[in-house]
Amino acid sequence: FPMYPLLFLLLPSTLAVTCFDSITGGTCCGDYCYAYRENGKSKIEETGCMIGEIYRSVNGKCLDESEKSYCYCDSDLCNNPNADYPNWKQGKLKCGKERNCIACDRFHFDDTLYDDCRLEEGTIFARLMQPQSCARFQAGKLSNGNNELVTCVCDKGDNCGKKLLEFQKLDSKKVTCLMGSGGVDTCKGDFCFIIGSEYISLRKRGCITNNETLFAGLFKIGYFIDRGEEHIICQSKNCNQNWEVAKQSVIINEPVCSTTTVTTSTTSTTTKSTSESIEEYFRRRWNSLIYSWTNVFNDVMLRLEG
């Protein structure tokens, strides 16, 4: 009698897709492919792989932001940089002082309120926020004790974020997590997170609480790679203590693609392994990662702390 269950364990992740990868100039292996462009320009600027089940909610969508957009798909080479993508929408919404937004993002960080078009740049957390969703992120401790970002993304009318944000409680006590990049400060939320990888010495840790009524399942337990940056979302006490502990608290399914040779008009390359791609990403993207959303978080905190 053949031992099917054991054989199944050896099978690669069924999500695995081969994607065009503009960073390496070849292809990468991921769970979902993405194509990225700046609005108003027809050229696709960047293609690559996203890794993690968390992207299911954006699969098949082009997420319009005010200046930059990402499209996600899940079949081999679906992120062809020369293909026609559905036209990006022209936004019409007013969000605070901003005009022509596709979606509004109203958030308060510390005690300050912001009203903007949907955030344009950032990590997995900002990028997954879609109309209609609200979430609370806690990522560090400030001298005055206020250390939270509560944010709502919506597109149901001008300044739709105002009403939405007002009614957010998001005070889950499900799990206790560590926050900040060191030390023993804790927060409580639905999930713990840690951002970083063996290539980043400074890790960011904290709590996430999602409004499940507005957008169920926006955040999920697991391991995710977003444009080369590794994230873990876990849900047991202090599971985000450090990278090693966090890694042991989630199941990591690295997508495995069959080694294919992809020939485009100019190049002929073979698929790189995930770790090779990450390394490449970090070498090439370090400068733009510096400006990612979590760094905005840090910048604001440093400013307030200093």
Classified as helix, coil or strand, 100 is: strand
Residue 87 identity: N
Q: Which lies closer to ligand NAG via its Cβ, residue 95 or residue 301?
A: 95
Are 127 and 55 within 8 A, CB to CB? Answer: no
Dihedral angle sign, alpha carbons of residues 259, 263, 269, 275: negative
Classified as helix, coil or strand, 278 is: helix
Which one of the spans 79-87, 110-118, 206-214, 283-291 is the region binding ligand NAG (CB under 6 A)? Answer: 206-214
Q: Which lies closer to ligand NAG via its Cβ, residue 50 or residue 175?
A: 175
Q: Based on the shown chain and the rule CB under 6 A, indicate whether residue 167 belongs to the binding site for ligand NAG.
A: yes
Give Cα separations from 159 to 10, 114, 121, 152, 284 (angstroms).
Answer: 50, 11, 21, 11, 38
Give Cα separations from 33 to 38, 133, 191 (angstroms).
Answer: 17, 23, 26
Q: Based on the shown chain and the rule CB under 6 A, indicate whether residue 119 belongs to the binding site for ligand NAG.
A: no
Residue 30 identity: G
Classified as helix, coil or strand, 102 is: coil
Distance, CA of 70 to CA of 128 (rounded, Å): 11
Task: Give the residue at shortest CB distance from ligand NAG.
Answer: 169
Name which of residues 131 to 150 contact ligand NAG (CB under 6 A): 134
Q: Based on the shown chain and the rule CB under 6 A, indicate whether residue 159 belongs to the binding site for ligand NAG.
A: no
What the block records as the tokens of 79 is 């992120």
Among 15, 142, 200, 214, contact with ligand NAG (rule: CB under 6 A): 214
Distance, CA of 253 to CA of 263 (rounded, Å): 28
Among 24, 57, 80, 168, contact with ligand NAG (rule: CB under 6 A): 168
Are 16 and 260 within 8 A, CB to CB? Answer: no
Which one of the spans 40-48, 99-107, 167-175, 261-269 is the region binding ligand NAG (CB under 6 A)? Answer: 167-175
Q: Based on the shown chain and the rule CB under 6 A, indicate whether residue 170 belongs to the binding site for ligand NAG.
A: yes
Q: Which residues are registered as beta bridge partners of 46?
A: 36
With CB under 6 A, what is the number of residues at the site for ligand NAG?
A: 9
Q: Which lies closer to ligand NAG via its Cβ, residue 160 or residue 225?
A: 160
Among 164, 175, 195, 232, contact with ligand NAG (rule: CB under 6 A): 164
The three-state (H, E, C) secondary structure of 20-69, written as one string: EECCCCEEEEECEEEEEEECCCCCCCEEEEEECHHHHHHCCCEEECCCEE
Q: Based on the shown chain and the rule CB under 6 A, indicate whether residue 14 belongs to the binding site for ligand NAG.
A: no
Work out how close the CB of 32 gets to ligand NAG at its nearest, in angstroms, rounded to a whole number.
27
Distance, CA of 231 to CA of 233 (rounded, Å): 7
Work out how close the CB of 219 gets to ligand NAG at its nearest, in angstroms, rounded to a whole number.
14
Work out how close the CB of 169 gets to ligand NAG at its nearest, in angstroms, rounded to a whole number.
4
Q: Based on the shown chain and the rule CB under 6 A, indicate whether residue 221 belongs to the binding site for ligand NAG.
A: no
Among 147, 151, 211, 238, contact with ligand NAG (rule: CB under 6 A): 211
Name which of residues 53 to 82 contact ligand NAG (CB under 6 A): none
Name which of residues 225 to 264 contact ligand NAG (CB under 6 A): none
Among 41, 169, 174, 283, contact with ligand NAG (rule: CB under 6 A): 169
Q: Binding residues for ligand NAG, per CB under 6 A?
A: 134, 164, 167-170, 211, 213-214
